[in-house]
């Protein structure tokens, strides 16, 4: 990794972390999810960074993948366990970070600590020599020591320029990952998830988060309006996820074309990921740069 790239990652990390902490300060019963998501995204943009993905706000047994719509009426309630997941990029170099906050109660303090401690411990041992299965084992043993389960089918991920998921997966259990290791300078997001439920998630309804897929199908769109909408989506969001409310800003009176693009397979919507037995879910995430003798947290 050259110095210019390193500095862009570091800057993205600082901005994402500051936006995450700002978002935490807004989390209160009676506040709309939309207000928090919009304010955090505005904070990133005002700091001259790009949005790596829509702010994700996952409540209680929802583990991941929800961002409010442009007119979302939902409000936080006392007792909600809130996962706030934030991403910023500088010139395509991404930092991804998340935190869990329980609003006004302390019923799930140990569950929150389990995911936090799992992240701390795996960061402390992560080097280019560490097999990924050992990283997963460290996360799993920490979470189970609290009497909870890691979510086995959610993983951390590699980050590359304009690629939120670069193909490398960082497991949360020891049975996955094998003997594979990473290279000096690899950038990864590590995100332990803990639950008092089944230990895995299932796909549910749509998340309001979309991705314009790089597909040949786009070349066969015949309808001019649909073609123009597709081009504008690509020009604005490229290869990174985007929110329904961002689309609504571009096309305030046109939901039909989005549906056409989804049917054509040009745009996909991420599903909400829900704990299989309705268990409560917590998450903690940092982006790190892996080194031969350890790793550097940038968020």
Cα R_g (the chain), whole angstroms = 19
Q: Which of 72, 80, 140, 157 does the annotation list as catalytic?
A: 157
**Measured between alpha carbons, how far is residue 80 from residues 98, 133, 200, 294 in Å?**
16, 33, 20, 35
Q: Which of 41, 140, 285, 286 is catalytic?
A: 285
Other CB atoms within 10 Å distance of the CB of residue 96: 29
Active site residue 85: yes
Query: Is residue 219 over pLDDT 80?
Result: no
285 is catalytic: yes
List of domains in the chain: 3-204+273-297 (3.90.230.10), 207-272 (1.10.10.10)
Phi, psi of 279 (to 5 degrees): -70, 155
Question: What's the token pair of residue 133?
Answer: 């299965």
Q: Is 48 left (phi over 0), alpha (psi -120 to 50) or beta?
A: left
Question: pLDDT exceeding 70 applies to what percent of the chain?
Answer: 99
Residue 297 predicted with pLDDT over 80:
yes
Alpha-helical (H) ranges within the chain are 3-26, 33-46, 109-125, 132-145, 224-237, 244-250, 256-263
Distance between CA atoms of 188 and 185, rounded to whole angstroms?
10
Catalytic residue among 35, 165, 248, 296: 165
Catalytic residue from among 72, 80, 85, 275? 85
User: Is 292 assigned a catalytic role?
Assistant: no
pLDDT at residue 260 tops 80: yes
Residue 38 vs residues 34, 165, 273: alpha-carbon distances, Å: 6, 24, 22
pLDDT cut 90: percent of the chain above it: 88
Whether 293 is catalytic:
no
pLDDT at 217: 72
Q: What does the pLDDT look like over 121-148, one tens digit per residue?
A: 999 999 999 999 999 999 999 999 999 9
Indicate which residue of 41, 80, 96, 134 is catalytic: 96
Using pLDDT thresholds of 50, 70 and 90, give the confidence band for residue 1.
confident
Mean pLDDT of 39-64: 98
Rounded to whole angstroms, the Cα distance separating 286 from 297 reads 7
Would you say 212 and 266 are in contact if contact means Cβ atoms under 8 Å apart?
Answer: yes
Annotation says 183 is catalytic: no
Of the residues 191, 200, 275, 286, only one is catalytic, namely 191
Q: Which class for 123: exposed (0-12), middle (13-18), buried (19 or more C-beta within 10 A)?
A: middle
d(CA 19, CA 296): 19
Find all residues with CB under 8 Å of 197, minimum gap 6, and list them.
61, 149, 275, 276, 277, 278, 279, 280, 281
Mean pLDDT of all residues in 238-256: 92
116 is catalytic: no
- Per-residue pLDDT at 218 exceeds 80: no
pLDDT in tens, 146-195: 999 999 999 999 999 999 998 899 999 999 999 999 999 999 999 999 99
């Amino acid at each position: 990794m050259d110095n210019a790239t390193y500095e862009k990652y570091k800057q993205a990390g600082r901005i994402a972390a500051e936006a995450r902490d700002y978002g935490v300060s807004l989390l209160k019963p009676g506040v709309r999810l939309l207000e928090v998501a919009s304010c955090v995204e505005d904070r990133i943009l005002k700091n001259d960074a790009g949005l790596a993905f829509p702010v994700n706000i996952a409540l209680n047994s929802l583990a991941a993948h929800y961002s409010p719509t442009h007119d979302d009426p939902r409000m936080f309630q006392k007792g909600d366990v809130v996962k706030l997941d934030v991403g910023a990029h500088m010139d395509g170099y991404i930092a991804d970070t998340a935190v869990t906050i329980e609003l006004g109660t302390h019923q799930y303090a140990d569950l929150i600590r389990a995911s936090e401690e799992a992240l701390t411990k795996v960061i402390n041992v992560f080097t280019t020599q560490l097999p990924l299965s050992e990283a997963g084992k460290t996360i799993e043993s920490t979470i189970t020591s609290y009497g909870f389960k890691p979510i086995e089918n959610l993983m951390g991920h590699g980050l590359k320029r304009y690629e939120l998921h670069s193909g490398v997966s960082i497991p949360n259990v020891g049975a996955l990952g094998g003997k594979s290791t990473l290279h000096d300078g690899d950038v990864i997001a590590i995100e332990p998830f803990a639950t008092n439920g089944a230990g895995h998630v299932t796909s549910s309804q749509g998340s309001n988060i979309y991705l314009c897929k790089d597909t040949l199908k786009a070349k066969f769109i015949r309808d001019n309006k649909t073609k123009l909408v597709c081009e504008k989506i690509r020009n604005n969001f490229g290869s990174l996820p985007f929110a329904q409310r961002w689309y609504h800003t571009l096309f305030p009176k046109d939901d039909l074309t989005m549906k056409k693009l989804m049917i054509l397979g040009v745009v996909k919507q991420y599903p909400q990921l829900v704990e299989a037995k309705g268990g409560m879910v917590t998450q903690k995430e940092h982006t790190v740069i892996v080194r031969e003798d350890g790793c550097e947290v940038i968020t």
